[in-house]
A and B are shown apart, each in its own frame.
Chain A
């Protein structure tokens, strides 16, 4: 079939022909076409099936507000469901399929729903599928989802890239119709930073769809000239194919630019779409208006569309919907449609004007005071039935019906911050209210300025006013003389009748459904929406909300403004989730932090684990090791036998300086820091204000006024933030300066009986690190490897003689290699976070599992650390009675009564013979590991009055895995309980 409904004119390039497929059939169109315009030009009116009743549907509109012509675009991984054919730009090779039918589009098996429609009224699902309850998930829902619903995803990963971006401007103009272009010319010529964004691929809005002139120029030519001037101004950014989708806080707007949706695929490395965040000083909404339909029986047949859409298809795209056209209107605009289509050589069957005082015409028949009462044509309109004022009816043959029920200003973005529109009785429509988002003004049809002359003037005047606010002086441009006719509208929202008259074609909501909702008490607009689904789904009721409101108002006897409006929320049109994700997908979901020894560890085949954003080596498998346990056990045993090395750079390091640094730390930590000597390290426990343990770590005093505090890896940022808050807000009178140095130093733990021997090969001879000169909890600034500045701390969390050595990060890789090389004679072993964890559990050292946001110093067995001689954050509230009961949880150790048995962290502790229930809960296990040193599993856990229960036998109950193990309460310090090893 060639383009049988292609007519003359339009903004399409007839020199080029594009081939595309719809439902497997090949058609032809031209550059400038949308999928909908090209299909109409090919005589295809049927483009989909409706959501609930599977009624045949064609486009209702020619824009982004389209409820009906919803298709699956493209194929394979790029398949995009629920795309609007009315805004899908045609390209060579485009493929599209109709949705929501079983079998052929023209013979949908699920159309049986339409015959069963009496059973599917509003609330049908709520009323019907209540019993039996168990059937809902397994039976009812899958069936309903199969029958209802729109398109489906391909199930394959999206092959395209999506970017995010950030723009700044003085004035964002939303919409490039007559008002937007006039505003942009005004603002652009003033030199202000202007962004002009429009969802269409051709700027100009309705100017491209109408036939009136601006001075001598056609609308399209005038728009093209305006755009050319704007493009020449360096201070103006033109953004076509860009939908401003939401007005957010502080003048920030979200916008989606469809960079490559009009191409078969994006160029390599470039994005399909960009989600822009636009920071504005002022914004001017020139979003135009959307024509609204009139509801009447069977008003949803393919071929019935808005009058403005008929004009757009004819004037902009050179496409007729049918050769014989009827018009149904309640205002003068229906007559403009008739004149335009006549000029295109189409036959006007009649203009059915609901107004008794309808204008007369010699060129076409006008049926004044008449309404359309019904239509016929199963897969496309064949005729309409007209109710005449004398009570008779008349059938009129036509393939297209243009419906003009007035215009709704596009107030959507004006309401994104809870603003409510106001009712304009003259227009019988909502216009922007007084409460607009910060910095927003509105002009043109969006403000209710319906004529082109008024739109141009209001756009220019609003731009001048916006810029005046910013101290920029702009002058009004000379505007062309053009159309300035009044709308002359007599409100008519629906034609009374017995059959189904569709208000919301996307959700199959009829006038009857709204009446039923009213009858059942769902009078509030919000309830009406949820009960009937009016205004939901991809079009968000752009063509239906006001009609629904009007019917509800009629039922309740209230006015439309009294009945209210539903909320408008972003996004204005649907946005793919991928655009919100941007580049944050797959391995790039978030940035990754690499340790200084990462490259070395990767060379060793280390297995890495995510710790926050860090990648840390978890263990280092060696040849012959088949399970992680073999690697971890080896690393632990080798460290305890001789020496092990571990990258601990990820622990937070905070440089604390100033004459009051010691006092600052004294207030931060529950234990005392004031008297810590220079060259000494102290373990510190910081509490939250409520007395619960917040974080722990060591603090080294490098000088009287200089400390380095370490935090746990997980809390590095939180502790730093806490310290900044304390410094700036709680004690601004203290002389203390803090800054993170976490990444500036590569830090390695060297632990084990031979740790000192290994270090003596690295540390320059000038520095004595013998036990006498550099005892446990000593620190100092030293040099290593022939003069490199370094820091050495004698601290241990493993129960071994241990040091931490820090060098500037760039030398971290070389230091790791040197330690491994020099450690060869001691069988030095590099260990990962698993072995680190095993050794700290063997030593009974609390870590994140124990500092779990509910534990106190007392619970941790560190109650004595909370100094009573000074005030520190949390020390007062740690004395709360409830936290100091005799049976308070205490951290103790556990071992299985039978060494062959294992148990799991998270298990609850229950008396040997007690029933396993919450009432008998004695505590829980926080950390469990297999101790290669002891040859059996060990655990740390919180037990009520645990310190006094050594030797008691309990059950570690794990209801999740339905397991339990007999355990004995022991000291938490399995290894080196007296500390001789670490002080060696």
Chain B
């Protein structure tokens, strides 16, 4: 075990949670993340390997799907982000590469992103102040890349009108947290 202590994207030793009104905004750090991209001409092998690894096919555009410990998120043409618990999958890139072999390129993304989960009955009101994605229409499992206060983000609907995850490049953590808390106060 190495001797370096981790800091969260917001710079604390532990993730922060803030409650504003009925909304809860939580910094999520217990999630490992890697990108998986199909290699050219390996469609067949990739489909088989992915199905073996995740016990399901990878999701269609605009979709997040939970498959056992893995969260599967469509990110772009032939590209997905894979989530898994950090404690068991800190080396997620190696695990996925071992499963997918030469059919895919895998890149560790765990610390490339900051994730905030916003939960509460007014989460859509909050998102409507920040982001052009049609959050009111997003059902559980909808995932989209969008802009949020000038920051390129990934928005995932974990539960319709109740629970969303927002991922942005990690260095924006403080600005994104500020935008979220400001919007939460704004909707009153």
Contacts and interface: CB of A to CB of B under 8 A. Distances in A.
Interface of A: 161, 163-168, 267-271, 274, 277, 279, 583-584, 588, 590-596, 598-599, 614, 655, 657-660, 705-706, 733-737, 739-746, 783-789, 807-815, 818
A598 B7 CA distance: 12
B63 to A, nearest CB: 19
Interface string B1-43: 1111111110100000000000000000100000101111100
Contacts of B52: none
B109 to A, nearest CB: 6
Given A270-B185, A594-B171, A594-B173, A739 B4 contact: no
Nearest to A655: B107
Contact of B40 (A735, A743, A807): A735
A50 to B, nearest CB: 40
Interface in B145-188: 149-151, 169-176, 178-179, 182-183, 185-188
16 contacts: A161-B186, A163-B186, A267-B188, A270-B185, A270-B186, A271-B186, A592-B175, A737-B38, A741-B107, A741-B109, A742-B112, A743-B169, A744-B108, A783-B2, A784-B4, A813-B7
A595 B172 CA distance: 10
A658 B132 contact: no
A591 B129 contact: no
Interface of B: 1-9, 11, 29, 35, 37-41, 79, 91, 105, 107-113, 128-134, 136-137, 149-151, 169-176, 178-179, 182-183, 185-188
A62 B44 CA distance: 70
A789 B111 CA distance: 13
Contacts of B3: 785-786, 818
Contacts of A706: 105
B48 to A, nearest CB: 18
A614 B7 contact: no
Contacts of B150: 584, 590-591
Given A592-B172, A743-B111, 10 more contacts: A161-B186, A167-B128, A270-B188, A271-B186, A279-B132, A588-B178, A705-B105, A735-B40, A741-B108, A743-B171
A808 B111 contact: yes
Q: Which of B5, B9, B170 has the most CB of A within 10 A?
A: B170
Q: Which of A168, A746, A809, A814 has the most CB of B within 10 A?
A: A809
A588 B172 CA distance: 12
Given A599-B11, A735-B39, A744-B109, A788 B186 contact: no
B6 A811 contact: yes
B188 A168 contact: no
A583 B182 contact: yes
B188 to A, nearest CB: 5
Contacts of A270: 185-188
A743 B170 contact: yes
Contacts of A594: 11, 171, 173-174
A658 B151 contact: no
B129 A810 contact: no
A737 to B, nearest CB: 4
Contacts of B40: 658-660, 733-736
Nearest to B93: A789
Contact of A739 (B35, B133, B134, B186): B35
Given A168-B137, A269-B185, A591-B151, A614 B110 contact: no
Nearest to A787: B2
Nearest to A728: B77
B1 A659 contact: no
B2 A810 contact: no
Contact of B170 (A734, A809, A813): A809
A741 B112 contact: yes
Nearest to A736: B40
Contacts of A785: 2-4
A599 B37 contact: no
Nearest to B184: A269
B11 A788 contact: no
Nearest to A724: B76
B4 A735 contact: no
Contacts of A271: 186
A788 B107 contact: no
Nearest to A164: B129
Contacts of A784: 2, 4
A277 B132 contact: yes
Nearest to B136: A168
Q: Which of B1, B2, B110, B183 has the most CB of A within 10 A?
A: B2
Given A594-B174, A658-B40, A735-B39, A744 B4 contact: no
B4 A818 contact: yes
A249 to B, nearest CB: 14
A593 B9 CA distance: 11
A614 B111 CA distance: 17
Nearest to A161: B186
Contacts of B186: 161, 163, 269-271
Contacts of B183: 163
Given A166-B131, A269-B186, A658-B39, A593 B172 contact: yes
